[in-house]
Amino acid sequence: MKLSQLLQACNHTILSGADLDICDLVYDSRKAREGVAFVCLKGYTSDGHKFASSAVEKGASALVISDDLDFDVPEGVTVVKVDDTRLALALMSAELFCHPADELKTVAVTGTKGKTTTTAMIAEIFAHAGIQTGTIGTLGIVYGGNTYKTDNTTPESYEIQKAMRDMIDAGCRAMVIEASSIGLKHHRLAGMTFDVGVFTNFGDDHIGGVEHKDIDEYRFCKSLLFRQVRNAAANCDDPAYLDVTRDFKGHLLTFGFSNTAELRAKNDRLLSDGGFIGVHFETEGLKTLSLDVGVPGVFNAYNALAAVSAVSFFDVPDEAIIAGLRVAHVKGRVEPVKVPGSYSLLIDYAHNAMSMENVLNTLRQYHPHRLITLFGAGGNRPKVRRFEMGETSGRLSDLSVITEDNSRFEDVMDIIEDIKTGLHKTDGKYVVVPNRKEAIRYCMLNAEDGDIIVLAGKGHEDYQEIKGVKYHMDERELIAEIIEEEGLRDDAGNH
């Protein structure tokens, strides 16, 4: 593709060189090669302009810059100046991949909390409607049963555009993305118009350091999404929705529990039945539905409302909404795993005292027969984290099962002793089973009806790190192995 075509949506000046055929865009000089354009991005700790000469040495045919260069560019290399190289990368990437967003149903979700869960719910509803869907967010780029890890919740614009083209090639017809405030601030979502933008909620977060200078900037960056959506839905129970959606000029669909919401929730209650843990509520207004959501916590009613609002802009039957929300979950976030027996087994990423407290307090609301927490702590990390986790589990669990978790270069038993120090500040019961698979086996073989068992710490991770080596270990696979090895069956005789 000609460089001029890639640049057609950008305000730019050609400083030197000719219009060239460009085969790809890169912003990491180590990936530069002949035929590519190197875009000099300015980051928190590095500036791509300082690596432009290296990119040229590796064969880059063009440089896209916003600042002056500190070297003489060889003849034959085209230099293009733009006001903002991040915006240029987004616009050029959309052109390079032939505007894939135009070929997909697209939904972008923004908000302080709930983005990941809402994204998963929307994708599950689409799936039940027969619409193959890819997602981009905290867990990476996910489509076709595969997950490709990314560095940020909202990746760089090039990765987003490439991912959408790959999704289309794999048969996807929809894409749902988490739109972080940082991603919006740095133009990672520029160059496309989303079919739907969703606002979940707003809180005091991501302020200071390299993120946002103050709460006003944070709120403003959230609002940027609503300049590039065709339709919008917002949680009107959060007063910030008016500021966040102020730049949206179309009809705004509101959702919430308040009487002013167009999609209103009512009669919410916690559900715990035969291993199913979630929340029930009904809707009125835009849709009249009775919904069971397979993610614990009353707050997930809001995430479900957001998902229902988003899909209402498409031809999605109510049956797909009902079925999708019942099974929707986020991998590694209070993720249910089906097991024989009348107890619940959940996998969660909680790996510090705060996240553990949030999860256990939520599950306590279900009044389990016993709340059992299996966990360890990472090696080569502050010991205080282990003390705090031990104390938190001892205080909130009926039984703590202490085991390994990424011991790295430390001895597992030394880590466990530190956890016990925290546990001993409480009167909580505990057992020690150092091998994680055997610890899971212990929990499953000793489970009683009505128990809730949480495997905390690993979540979506599929490895165990020991002495510098990451060994494959997926807790879902371990559970399946234990069921097979122990000959466990449900009441119907099924494994």
CATH number, domain of 273, equals 3.40.1190.10
The predicted structure's pLDDT at residue 208 = 62
The CATH number of whichever domain residue 92 belongs to comes to 3.40.1390.10
Asked if residue 233 and residue 121 are part of one domain, the reply reads yes
Token duo for residue 96: 């390079």
399/319 same-domain check: no
Residue 495 lies in a domain: no
Together in a domain, 123 and 224: yes
Closest CA to 320 of 183, 128, 149, 97: 128
On whether residue 494 sits in a domain, the answer given is no
Whether residues 362 and 442 share a domain: the answer is yes
Residue 275: pLDDT band (50, 70, 90) is: confident
Asked if residue 339 and residue 313 are part of one domain, the reply reads no
Give the separation between CA 119 and CA 295, rounded to whole angstroms.
13
Cut 0.85: pTM above it: yes
Please state the rounded mean pLDDT for residues 156-172: 98
Write the burial class of residue 40 (CB in 10 Å: 0-12 exposed, 13-18 middle, 19+ buried).
Answer: buried
Q: Which DSSP state fits 410?
A: S
Domain-ending residue, one of 300, 327, 354: 327
pLDDT of 495 strictly over 80: no
Are 311 and 173 part of one and the same domain? yes
Please answer whether residues 207 and 214 qualify as being in contact, where contact means their C-beta atoms are separated by less than 8 angstroms.
yes
What average pLDDT does the segment 374-393 reach?
97
Could you tell me if 125 and 252 lie in one domain? yes
Mean pLDDT of the region 185-193: 96
pLDDT tens readout for residues 279-305: 999 999 999 999 999 999 999 999 999
End-to-end CA distance of the chain: 55
Q: Which of these three, 279, 299, 327, is where a domain ends?
A: 327
Number of structural domains the chain divides into: 3
135 assigned to some structural domain: yes
Closest residue by Cα to residue 121 from 4, 13, 233: 233
Q: What confidence category does residue 273 fall into, taking pLDDT thresholds of 50, 70 and 90?
A: confident
Give the CATH number for residue 441.
Answer: 3.90.190.20
Report yes or no on 491 lying in a domain.
Answer: no
Judge whether 119 lies within some domain. yes
Inside any domain, residue 402: yes
Range of the domain at 216: 100-327
Residue 370 lies in a domain: yes
Residues 33 and 179 in one domain: no
Tell me: do 351 and 281 sit in the same domain: no
Whether residue 307 sits in one domain with residue 158: yes
pLDDT band for position 230 (cuts 50, 70, 90)? very high
Tallying the residues shown for the chain, one arrives at 495
In a domain, 253, yes or no: yes
Assign 198 a pLDDT band (cuts: 50, 70, 90).
very high
Pair 239, 311 in one domain: yes
Q: Which amino acid is at 91?
A: L
pLDDT of residue 274: 78
Is residue 478 domain-shared with residue 385, that is, in the same domain? yes
Enumerate the H helices of 329-448 as residue ranges. Answer: 353-364, 383-396, 412-423, 436-445
Query: What percentage of residues in the chain have a pLDDT greater than 90?
Result: 93
Quote the pLDDT of residue 214. 84
Cβ atoms within 10 Å of 44's Cβ, excluding its own: 7
The last residue of one of the domains, among 327, 349, 374, is: 327
The predicted structure's pLDDT at residue 455:
98
Residue 346 contacts residue 334 (beta carbons within 8 Å): yes
